[in-house]
Structure 1
């Protein structure tokens, strides 16, 4: 059962006076409990002694709330009992739940959780500010193991907080291990101060969370200097953005009839591969394709080479010559774009408009000359993707969505390599946005908090995406035939695959990403 132990944490040994009454409330309603207070230093010693395997993860956190989130799981696993945030007030004795042999959790108020849950496709969010558990429950080890895979996630909610906790609970093999209550049990008041109960929630409240937000720093209101800077950067953007694709024109170019169609029922795949200066990668790539556990008579290979200086075209012809009859068809195309880029400088922001615009032209050439009516799906794969699960195609198709991508990484379990697949989060178009525009393209730093990449939400099975990458990209071929192409000039400050994903969203087709489905890019 749940032992009568209360765990609370704070940065130092001295808790601010404003929280003293809340701390006293637990002792008043539960006088026979053992109270264990933990400072950050005490938690460090505890983790080092009892959970040394998780110590590197614990020490890697730069945000104190992440250490607190991780430590509360270890405390509940080691000692059991009740964990309560320092801004939680006890309203009544906890006797009604102390006989539980399950982990006791409650949901966050729906009005508070809706944005974060909807963004991640979660049915609800669990509140991690007050939790109860028997000692030694294996669920907490699963939570900690998931945290280890998300140590570098941008958002605390995904790295250690309620989003991760919810995903861990939903994925746990034994759902009978939980007593999940409505928000009224521990969080009857929303951050906005509303005490209105949600429909059907007649739970007797045992505690209340006062949402002090000790770890969250709100954005200050803009000063006159900030407003002036916003106008200046926006003006610079308007004067220097160059040619761009008009939104209305881009939408009008797509046949509206294809947008409302369901995913294809057929299983013919056209694997579309753009390549340039990739002679040494061609044969290994073909070997990797051979490992797909998908019927070869359903697969058509379509390659498009252009502007290579290393004999890629000749190597491609030789490597595919012996494959006739193995696949449904093999098509070799060439498209000379005429761009000459120094590979050592190809990642520079100033190069991206030209570089990615050229790639978009090659992709569109593949659509025009490589896709036919008997192709149900287009599977885009970059030539430098060298390893992927044999069932990757089936798993992408099984999403039931018309556009889907896996998580492309360089190191298994590492951060996302394909940063063109992302979710845009609370992005304000202020001076910070416009100063990140290069060549008419928004190119923020890789660690920008306004973009979630698939590696940031690896606790999820699937998530809707605002933009997609092309290292591996599954698309309903009917969308391509109906005019959904890769913008060759900036569309809403993005280009190529990113702009393709944004345009698809604008047309009502939501791409999805599979954070746990990893493919490997060559590590250079």
Structure 2
């Protein structure tokens, strides 16, 4: 109980039956959270990247939520748990490896997942999944890392690098490499949910109706927001007002204080962007690293000249 205050120790000493159930904070411990839906084809790469992660295994806990999946995701995760936690040497095992199942019975064809008319309902379901996962899985870990299930690459040092900034919420710049029709490789910002409000965007927000929902790239409103590829090279760390979830590091105290992923409109946002807005409203700092291009999301096809 050394890390508890004197007052806390007095209370716990008087309530020993409850003290036994109170978890002391585990310094530098990390809880990695990923919600999965039909992710079987990406799981091998997911664990390949985790295996390369430069962080003590006994400090890392994993928790997954499987929802509305019809492929082999659940079976493969159960097999992965058996492999890591039972068959592997002890130094290869994670502190915890938890798998949860919660279906929301929401089905949307993949080709329609970015259509604006479906975005609000779709993102609300994702927010519900995230809230279910973190409220079930978070114990005494000090950091929470949200990772997308289909990332292609991140540096083994990424977690340590982000922790070094010691921010409440911080995201790197998630990019993709795409060839244009001339065969030239272009680096494109993938996660457009990471943005900073501008004077123009704040003026635009004043014109909205109370129930207007904003989704980047999927709305009839021009948001005038500043994305991570809009900052100068000397702006290595910038305050943000919205974040995505491709690779988002959060101090666990943010979640413990009640900041989750809104399933209702909060400042015209839901899910991850709503989370960032809610975190800031509660006094937490939200930051992005425009030139930390260490995360590469899933490959996409040819980039045409009209898209550049």
TM interval, shorter chain, is: 0.7 to 0.9
Residues 282-301 of structure 1 aligned to structure 2 (within 5 Å): 282-301=43-62
CA contact (8 A) 1:357 1:488 kept: yes
Show the counterpart of 2:21: none
CA contact (8 A) 1:367 1:481 kept: no
**Residues 428, 367 of structure 1: alpha-carbon distance in 2 compared, 3 angstrom cutoff:** closer
Q: Which has the higher contact order (CA 8 A, sep 6+)?
A: 2
Runs of 5+ consecutive residues of structure 1 not aligned to the other structure: 1-263
Counterpart selection for 1:425 from 193, 198, 223: 198
Q: CA deviation at 1:311?
A: 2.3
Counterpart selection for 1:378 from 144, 148, 154: 144
Residues 81-480 of structure 1 aligned to structure 2 (within 5 Å): 266-324=27-85, 325=90, 326-372=93-139, 374-411=140-177, 414-426=187-199, 427-430=201-204, 434=208, 440-445=212-217, 450-457=224-231, 459=233, 460-480=235-255
Q: CA deviation at 1:485?
A: 0.5
Q: Pairwise CA RMSD of aligned residues? A: 2.3
Q: Give secondary structure in 1 for the equivalent of 2:288.
A: strand
Runs of 5+ consecutive residues of structure 2 not aligned to the other structure: 1-24, 179-185, 301-308
Q: Give secondary structure in 1 for the equivalent of 2:32.
A: strand
Q: Give secondary structure in 2 for the equivalent of 1:351.
A: helix
Residues 72-83 of structure 1 aligned to structure 2 (within 5 Å): none
> Distance in 2 between the 1:283 and 1:387 partners?
12
CA contact (8 A) 1:402 1:511 kept: yes
> Distance in 2 between the 1:472 and 1:444 partners?
18
Q: Give secondary structure in 1 for the equivalent of 2:28.
A: coil
Residues 47-58 of structure 1 aligned to structure 2 (within 5 Å): none
> Distance in 1 between the 2:57 and 2:217 partners?
41
CA contact (8 A) 2:65 2:102 kept: yes
CA contact (8 A) 2:152 2:299 kept: no
Counterpart selection for 2:270 from 467, 486, 495: 495
Q: CA deviation at 1:430?
A: 4.7
> Distance in 2 between the 1:463 and 1:377 partners?
21
Q: CA deviation at 1:416?
A: 1.4
Q: CA deviation at 1:269?
A: 0.2
Deviations, residues 221-242 of structure 1 (Å, cap 9, x unaligned):
xxxxxxxxxxxxxxxxxxxxxx
Q: Which moved more, 1:374-383 or 1:311-320?
A: 311-320
> Distance in 2 between the 1:494 and 1:458 partners?
27
Structure 1 runs of 4+ aligned residues shifted over 6 Å read: none
> Distance in 2 between the 1:504 and 1:388 partners?
25
